[in-house]
Copies of this chain bind each other. A is one copy, B any other.
């Protein structure tokens, strides 16, 4: 499968404070050098902003295991499609086209790219109270249409992937972007999975960037688990899943600064290998 030899899967976070231009310019350079890549991106911060403007303020819940997730009612899943696919994905593809990269945007629905199991109910903890959130449009990706991605890569297109995913029950569902990207990397047998966000990597003290954990051995994930807070817990879950799926190298790095993709490949950030 020469079209995916040396393949990179890059997840670009959607938090505030991330300017995608550095990542895109670097990806354009890597594409010119002939190395294939797939970009997966989020859009949480923009989604929050548009939801507010449309009078549908975002809500979050916490699971018993401490993971935070967005309440995804029918209005929210419609907003996710408008913002992630209609706004951010189109913008990234447009910028890449401007950089000479023949990018093609895809949501998980297109060509059944990201197939998911919809959650029947989401378990929620609020203080002392535990309850089930029903009719939530959330799920977990179980299968990636690698045929479609290989077809595009083989023919010179660079896939830019975003949410939502396509549930087996037919609906669009919100899924965790970090874990979806990890499954894309594992399914394509990528050489490396890079998760770039607004922090330099896993920090021992989230407020102090000098406390970066620079390397984690493959079997050392349990030892660092306790360091992760908030959304970083899902990132580490994605790291575990990518490793378990056979990706030899996972790097958590920053999306900001010059050549952030190359920098991560060179070992800047938290390298798990």
Classify the secondary structure of A's interface with B: helix
Complex CA–CA separation, A78 to B97 (angstroms): 17
Q: Is A172 an interface residue (CB 8 A)?
A: yes
In the complex, chain B residues whose CB is within 8 Å of the CB of A53: 54
Q: Given A151-B151, A170-B97, verify A109-B81 contact (CB < 8 Å).
A: no
In the complex, chain B residues whose CB is within 8 Å of the CB of A106: 104, 110
User: Closest residue of chain B to A145, judged by CB?
Assistant: B102
* Residues 11-55 of A contacting B (Cβ, < 8 Å): 53-54
In the complex, chain B residues whose CB is within 8 Å of the CB of A148: 104, 155, 157
**Which chain A residues have a beta carbon within 8 Å of chain B's beta carbons?**
53-54, 78, 81-87, 90-91, 93-94, 97-98, 102-107, 109-112, 147-148, 151, 155, 157, 166, 170-172
**7 additional contacts, CB 8 Å, given A82-B82, A85-B85?**
A81-B86, A85-B86, A93-B109, A97-B170, A102-B112, A103-B111, A104-B111
